[in-house]
Amino acid sequence: MINLTTSYLGQDLRNPLVCSASPLCQEVDNLLRMEEAGAGAVVLHSLFEEQIERESMDLSHFLEHGAEGYAESLSYFPEMSDYNLGPDGYLSQVRRAKAELTVPVIASLNGRSDGSWARYARQIQDAGADALELNVYEMPTDPERSGADVEEDLCRLVDRVCQEVYLPVAVKLGSSYTAPVHLAKRLAAAGAKGLVLFNRFYQPDFDLDRLEVVPGLSLSTSAELRQRLTWIALLHGRVKADLAVTGGVHTHQDALKALMAGASLVMMTSALLRHGIDHLRGVLAGLEEWMAQREYLSLRSLRGSMSFLSAADPSAFVRANYVKVLRSHAVGLPEA
């Protein structure tokens, strides 16, 4: 019998497949289908900062500064009323999900400032969530604000939320920070118990006929996994936080690569949007079959086996591999 159990944010999960925050997670019926299909945990759709502060914030500011930052946000911009769960509704959703599901329920806060996050983090805790994911989004457009300032603000936000709740907190990061390993250690020191790599920032497109900036949304593919593998492998064993991969996980092979890099679990959205919730069953079956064929009895025996600290050739993760790849593609090219 293959043991697929894993641990994340202090929660025991029956397997490492987690449904990440998306419009699919807005309906409790969908959450129940995810549990039935084999999900080890679910992350609820996000409560957005704009929803929390809708009475006092100028919506146009956010439309001009990255309103299309997340796939989730497409379901309510520019009319937040279309996103039918405000703060009170979100808390009710947390309570209902906890009442009806047996797998861990992770709530999600999505925003860029700490003004009301701490207050709602406490309310989410009181509603019964098992953990909290901070989904931080900011487009640093101020030329006077340095990368160090951006990271300092992020660490301060995480510290404030962690001081307010006893819930384990994970931070979902983008991929554009200057020194991810250093930042990861700072976030862990600030109280983060988990790191989720990487969020997909959806950039707008240009409509050449209407001469307008328009929303752009593309589901992920397995090709996006490589960036996640690199940084998970570099972080495993070097930072005191659980690691999760999101973005680019579509098959059991994708999941296995992420786990071998050092992830405690993998999160899936695009694959479920493309193939349906029952796709989880096939990925789970593929995991078990692959492990049985190679006589792996548990996830623990393979997790991190291909990380930077465990790799036979750690240079494959850094500059030496860069040079090797360039040379391999230069072979056979015609002379100029």
**DSSP states along 43-61:** EPPPEEHHHHTTTTS-HHH
Domains of the chain by residue range: 6-309
Q: How far is it, in rounded angstroms, from Cα 261 to Cα 238?
A: 13
Q: Which two tokens mark 198? A: 């990487």
Q: Residue 215: count other Cβ atoms within 10 Å of its Cβ.
A: 13
pTM of the prediction?
0.86
C-beta of residue 180 within 8 angstroms of C-beta of residue 188 = no
Angle, alpha carbons 104-105-108 (nearest 5°): 140
Q: Say what percent of the chain tops pLDDT 70.
A: 82
Summarised one tens digit per residue, pLDDT across range 274-304 is: 999 999 999 999 999 999 999 999 999 999 9
**pLDDT above 90 for 49:** no
Pairing of strands 6-8, 242-246: unpaired
Rounded average pLDDT over 305-311 = 90
Average pLDDT, the chain: 86
Residue 140 pLDDT level (bands cut at 50, 70, 90) = confident
Question: Which of 74-78, 204-208, 307-311 shows the lowest mean pLDDT across its residues?
Answer: 74-78
Residue 323 pLDDT level (bands cut at 50, 70, 90) = low
Per-residue model confidence (pLDDT) at position 312? 76
Residue 222 pLDDT level (bands cut at 50, 70, 90) = very high
Local structure of residue 307 (DSSP, 8 states): S
Those residues with Cβ within 8 angstroms of residue 170's Cβ, 6 or more apart along the chain or in another chain: 9, 106, 131, 132, 133, 134, 192, 193, 194, 195, 196, 242, 244
**pLDDT above 50 for 67:** no
Per-residue model confidence (pLDDT) at position 12? 96
Rounded average pLDDT over 169-198 = 95
- Domain topology for 6-309: TIM Barrel (3.20.20)
Per-residue model confidence (pLDDT) at position 198? 93
